[in-house]
Amino acid sequence: MSLPPVANPKHDVKVPDVDPEEKWRPYREPLAPGEHPHRPPEGYKILGTRVPLVDGPLKVSGQGVYADDLFLPHMLHAKLLHATHPHARIRAIDVSAAKRLPGVVDVLTGLELGTGHRFGVLPLTKDEEPLAAEKVRYIGDLVAIVAAEDEWTAKEAVRLIRVDYEDLPAVLKPMDGLKPSADKIHPDIGIDETNVQKYVDQEFGDVEAALRKAEYTIRRKWKFQGVTHGFTEPHAVVAHYTAKDRLVLWSATQVPHYVHRALAEVTGLPPHRIQVIRPQVGGGFGGKSDPFPHEMAAALLAMRTRRPVKLLFDRDESFYSGRGRHPTENEFAIALDRDGTLRAMDIEAVIDGGAFASFGIISTYYNGVLSMGPYKVPAFRYKGRRVYTNHIPSGAMRGHGAVNSRCTLEVLLDEAAEELGLDPFAVRLRNLMPAYSHTINDFRITSNGLRECLETVRAASKWDERWRRLPLGQGLGLGCGFYISGSNLPIHWDIPGMPQSTVHVKIDWDGGVTVHTGAAEIGQGSDTVAAMIVAEVLGIPLDRVRVYSNDSDLAPVDLGSYSSRVTFMMGNAARKAAEEVRRELQRAAADVTGAQPELFVCQDDAVVNQADPGMRVSFLDAVRKAMDHKGALVARGSFNSTKMGGTFKGATAGLAPAYSLNAYVAQVEVDLETAQWRCTKVWAAHDCGKALNRLAVEGQIEGSIHMGLGQVYSESLEYRGANLRNPNLLDYKIPTSLEMPDVEVFIVESNDAEGPFGAKEAGEGPLLPILPAVVNAIHDAVGVRMHELPVTPDRLYEVKERQGGWKKPTLPKASVTVKAGGRHR
Amino acid sequence: MSRARILRLDVNGVERSVAVEPQAILLDVLRNDLRLTGTKRGCDMGTCGCCTVNIDGEARLSCLTLAAQAEGKRVTTIESLGTPTNLHPIQKAYSDVGGSQCGFCTPGFIMATNALLVKNPDPSMAQIKEALSGNLCRCTGYIKIIQAVQVAARELAPPQRPAVAVAPRRPRP
C-alpha cells in the first residue's frame, strides 16, 4: 500500500546494523524435561491434573452472582442516551420532558458535566469522557444518562431527550484518516493534522536490499472486517455512594485496578475512598478490559443521587461500546531463498481505531512486531497506522493485534511454499527460532516447543499422506502462532517498582488457607489455578484453600485478566507467597521435633521429615505452632518482570517474559455447488510450557478455535454509512454447536524456565493459528486463495469465478525453478 | 395508571402470585419479581439462549415469553435442579467436565439439556448439537458442553435419578 512517511516523524526507529546470527545464538540451555526450580521435591500432586473450576458448582446451579443479579435497597435503574450522529457538535440538549416523567430521579448530560473528566486505559491517550461534553464521535457515543425508579421508566425518559446536533465531516474510511483534516476527531491527539492516532515506522536490518537480492519474494494485501468479543453477559454495573463517603462500584470488568484508577481521576475522589468489586463476569475476551464511560457515568449519577444505581446494557449497547478487533488492511511482503529460508519481512498495516484510543498504541505495535516470531527474521520493516474514525472504538480482543497479521503471514508462507515447491511444514521448520534466543528487535524468547507442535499435528493429521491428495472439495491446511505470555512492561509506571501482581496468603487457627488476589476470574479459571498452586506448594488438599479475588479493599493489586498475563504473573506471585508460608511451617515443624527445618517438606496435609518420614507434624499442628504468640500466618508474594529488551522507542511493545507457540492443522469441506464450506476437524498443538490445569487449558484452546473460526466463517461488523447494521446476535453470526468441528488437542510442555512451574499462557495464543489453517485448507480443497475475512460463501464463489473454477492444487515438485529476484503480484 | 394484574405462576412446583403489567416478560418476572436470578438475560431477543427455562417440559426462551403466557403452565428454572452442594447430575456433569467457564450461558444450556434428556434419554451427537443450537457459548467451543450432556445422559440412565421433567409440587412457603 506504500504508506507515506508522516510529516513530522518524532520516533522512527532504524537499526541497520543488526547481527541476526548473534541474536539467535541461544543464551542458555533449556531445562531438562521434568526438572524445574519451582517443582516440589516430592513431585506434583495437583498441578498438571484436570481440576474442575472451583466456582463451577455455583455457576451450574445458577447461584453465581453477576452484576445484574445485584439488588440493593432503594436502587435506581439507569439508561443511556446514545448519539445518533457519527461526528457532530452538541449545540443543546433538552431534558425537560424526560425530567417531568414520573419516576425519573435524575438526568445527567455531558453538556452539563462539561469537559475536564477525561480518562482512558493508557496514560498517554486519555481521550474518553463519561458523557460526550462537546461533540459526539460515533453513532453509539454516550450523550446522557437517566436514573429512574425502574428500568422501563428510564428507557422511556431517554426517548424524551432532544439533542440539537451540528454535523461535522465524518471519517468512515481509515485511508481517509491518513489525510489532513480541519475537523480532527480528537483535535489535541494524534499525528500532524491527520486523524492518525499512532504511527510506527521501524526497520531492523536492510529490508530493501534483502528484497532486491532475494531469490524469491511474494507480496499480498489483505482485508479484515472488524469483529467483536460476543461475550454472553452484556456489560453491567452497580454504583453506590455509601454513608461512609465511599464510592463502591460493582462492574463486569476484567481489570478492576484500571477502573479504580479511572474512577479516581473522573470523580476526583482520592483512591482510598473508592472500592471496586468484580462480581462473576460472564466472559470478557478483551471487551471488558478498558475502564468504560458507562462505568464513570453510573458512578457520577450515584454520587449525585446518593442512591445505588444499576446500569445494565441491552445487547446492542455491548456492540456499540466496542473495543473489538480492529478492521484492518495490511500488506505483507517476504523474501525467501529457494530452500525456504526467510530473508526479510516487510509489513504495512492501517487499522481502524474507531472513535477512541483505547489500547491503540499497543494494538498498532502488535500488528507488526508480533510477526517477529516464531521464525528467524533477519531483516524487518513495519509501518503501522492506527486511525481515528467515526466508527465504534476498536481495542483489545483475544489475540490482541496479532490475529490478523498472523493470518496474513501464515497464508503468505503457504503461498510461498507452494510457488517454491516446498511443503508448508518444511518452510516453518527451516526457519524456527531456537529456544532461549533473541529476535533482531530484542524480544527475549524463552522456552519454545514449536518443533514438537509441528511434528505432533503433522503425524496426527496424517498430513504426508493426505495433504494435496484428498478429493476436490476437501483439504488440509497448516497455521502456526506466537503470542505474548503477559506484557513485560505494565501500562502505568507512576509508582516505580509496583509489582504487576501481588498475592496474599493467610492461615488462621482453622487451618483454612485464604488467598487474596486481584486477578480477575472471568471464567478462564484464575481462581482455580491460584488455589491449585497454593495447595501444591503447601502439600494440602485443594478444599483447604479459598480464593478471594473480587474486592479491591481486600485484594492486593493485580493488573487484571488481559494480555494472557495471569497464570504467569499471578501464578508466580501465588507461588512465592505460598513458599514463604512453607518456610514458616518448616521452622514450626523443626521447633516441634528438634530436627533441622530444611529437612522438612510439605506433603499429604503434613510437614514431613524427608530423611525420616515417620517424623511428621500435621498441617494444622504446624500452623498452630507457627502462630504461637504471633497470630495468623500471613505472607505475600509478588511478580515484577525482569528488565529486558532494546532501548529504542517502542522496544517494550511485544516484549514478554515468555511466548506461547502453537501449530494447528485444519480440515475443511467445500460444497462445490454453493461454496458453503465447513471446518470438520482441527488438530491443535499448543505449547503452554506446562499445563497447570489441563482441563482449563483444553477449554481455552477449544474456545479459542471457536472464536477464531467465527472470524473466518461469518463474524463481521457491517456498516451502512456510519451505522452499524448488525448490533445483535442474530445478524452478527457467532458459530453454534452445529458449526463447531471436532477438535483434538495436544498440549506441548516446553517447561519454561521462568513461568510458574514451567507454565506459559494458553488464553489467547491458541486463537491465532486457526484462521490461517482454515484459509490454507480451503485452498487445498478447491485451489482458491482468499485474502479477505470472513470467507463467506459468496466471496469464495466470486473469487472462484474470477479464477475460472475450482481446481485441486498439485503436490509440490522439488524441481520447480524460481527466477532470482522475481516479483509476484 | 397501572394496568397491572395478578398472575398466578407455577414456578419450580410452587405457586407464586405476582402483580405485573400486561407486557411483562417472563424473564423479568423470574429475575426481578421472584429473584430467581439463575436465569440470565443476554440479549432480550431470543438470539443467545441464556434465558432458557422449561415450560411444561419444553425448552423455552423466557425473554420471548410474556409472563401471562406462562399462566396455567409449569415453569422450571435452573434453581429447581440442584444446589451447589447437591448438584443435579446434569449440573455436576457441566461442572466436572469443563462445560461451564464464565457460567453466564450455563443455566440456559442446562435447561436446554434437561428438556432434551427428559424427551430423549439417549441422544445421538447430532441430536445433542441440534438441541443446543439455540444457545450460544463464547467460552467453551461447545466441545465440553456436548461431553457434559453425554456424561449426564449416562448418569441419568435408569436406574438412576430421572431428569426433572416437572419439579415436584411443594406446599407454598
Q: Per residue in B34-46, pLDDT tens? A: 999 999 999 999 9
Report CB contact under 8 Å: A230, B138. yes
Would you call A156 helix, strand, or coil by DSSP? Answer: helix
How crowded is residue A610: how many other Cβ atoms within 10 Å of its Cβ? 13
d(CA A276, CA A260): 6
Structural domain includes residue A263: yes
Structure-block grid coordinates of residue B22: 400486561
**What pLDDT digit, counting tens, does each position of A389-423 carry?**
999 999 999 999 999 999 999 999 999 999 999 99
pLDDT band at residue B3, thresholds of 50, 70 and 90?
A: confident
Kindly state whether B19 is in contact with chain A, defined as any CB-CB distance less than 8 angstroms. Answer: no
Report CB contact under 8 Å: A315, B105. no
Kindly state whether B101 is in contact with chain A, defined as any CB-CB distance less than 8 angstroms. Answer: yes
**Predicted pLDDT at A822:** 40
Report CB contact under 8 Å: B103, A523. yes
d(CA A584, CA A623): 8
Structure-block grid coordinates of residue A645: 529488551
Kindly state whether B103 is in contact with chain A, defined as any CB-CB distance less than 8 angstroms. Answer: yes
Kindly state whether A72 is in contact with chain B, defined as any CB-CB distance less than 8 angstroms. Answer: no
Q: Are residues A392 and A463 in the same domain?
A: yes
Angle formed at CA A141 by CA A139 and CA A146, multiple of 5 degrees: 120
Structure-block grid coordinates of residue A156: 422511556
Proportion of chain A above pLDDT 90, given as a percent:
96
Q: Which residues of A touch B127 (CB under 8 A)?
A: none
A50–chain B nearest CA distance, Å:
9
Would you call A412 helix, strand, or coil by DSSP? Answer: helix
**Predicted pLDDT at A41:** 85
Kindly state whether B47 is in contact with chain A, defined as any CB-CB distance less than 8 angstroms. Answer: yes
Considering its fold, how many domains does chain A have in total? 3
B residues 122-151 closer than 8 Å to A (CB): 128-130, 132-146
d(CA A583, CA A589): 10
Q: Are residues A413 and A455 in the same domain?
A: yes
pLDDT band at residue A278, thresholds of 50, 70 and 90?
A: very high
- Residue in chain A nearest B138 by alpha carbon: A231
Burial class (CB in 10 A: 0-12, 13-18, 19+), A102: exposed
B133–chain A nearest CA distance, Å:
5
Cβ pairs bridging A and B (under 8 Å): 187
**Predicted pLDDT at A824:** 39
The structural domains of chain B, ordered by start, are 5-79 (3.10.20.30), 89-156 (1.10.150.120)
Structural domain includes residue A228: no
pLDDT band at residue A761, thresholds of 50, 70 and 90?
A: very high
Domain endpoint, select from A639, A672, A695: A639
B71–chain A nearest CA distance, Å:
23
Nearest to A283 among B84, B104, B107 (CB): B104
Q: Are residues A381 and A514 in the same domain?
A: no
Q: Are residues A749 and A609 in the same domain?
A: no
Q: Are residues A576 and A611 in the same domain?
A: yes
Q: Are residues A417 and A484 in the same domain?
A: yes
Would you call A719 helix, strand, or coil by DSSP? Answer: strand
Question: Cα torsion at A206, A208, A211, A213 (round to 10°)?
Answer: -80
Task: Write down the ipTM of this complex.
Answer: 0.96
Q: Does residue A823 register a pLDDT over 50? A: no
CATH of the domain at A244: 3.90.1170.50
Q: Are residues A671 and A634 in the same domain?
A: no
Amino acid at A469: R
**What pLDDT digit, counting tens, does each position of A645-657 carry?**
999 999 999 999 9
Predicted TM-score (pTM) of this structure: 0.96
For an interface test with B, which of A156, A232, A705 has the most B Cβ atoms less than 10 Å from its Cβ? A232
Q: Does residue B162 register a pLDDT over 90? A: no
Structural domain includes residue A204: no
Q: Are residues A710 and A795 in the same domain?
A: yes
Average pLDDT, chain A: 96
Mean of pLDDT values over A584-601: 97
Angle formed at CA B71 by CA B67 and CA B77, multiple of 5 degrees: 65
Structural domain includes residue A8: no
CATH of the domain at A739: 3.30.365.10
Q: Which residues of B touch A743 (CB under 8 A)?
A: 141, 143
Report CB contact under 8 Å: A283, B139. yes
Report CB contact under 8 Å: A60, B145. no
d(CA A587, CA B7): 66
A residues 512-541 closer than 8 Å to B (CB): 522-525
Report CB contact under 8 Å: B104, A231. yes
Structure-block grid coordinates of residue B112: 436446554
d(CA B75, CA B119): 16
Q: Are residues A469 and A583 in the same domain?
A: no
**Predicted pLDDT at B147:** 98
Structural domain includes residue A816: no
CA atoms in the 13 A half-sphere facing the CB of A332: 25
Structural domain includes residue A42: no
> Residue A572 — φ and ψ, nearest 5°?
-70, -40
> Residue A417 — φ and ψ, nearest 5°?
-60, -45
**Predicted pLDDT at A825:** 34
Domain endpoint, select from A612, A639, A666: A639
Q: Are residues A663 and A623 in the same domain?
A: no
Q: Which domain holds residue A153?
A: 67-168+234-281+288-321
Q: Are B29 and B41 in contact (CB under 8 A)?
A: no
Report cis status (omega within 30 of 0) of the bond before A790: yes
Structural domain includes residue A197: no
**Predicted pLDDT at A191:** 86
Q: Are residues A335 and A469 in the same domain?
A: yes
**Predicted pLDDT at B1:** 52
Mean of pLDDT values over B124-143: 98
- Residue in chain A nearest B143 by alpha carbon: A702
Q: Are residues A333 and A388 in the same domain?
A: yes
Domain endpoint, select from A614, A639, A664: A639
Would you call A802 helix, strand, or coil by DSSP? Answer: helix
Would you call B25 helix, strand, or coil by DSSP? Answer: strand
For chain B, the first-to-last Cα distance in angstroms comes to 31
Q: Which residues of A touch B53 (CB under 8 A)?
A: none
pLDDT band at residue B168, thresholds of 50, 70 and 90?
A: low
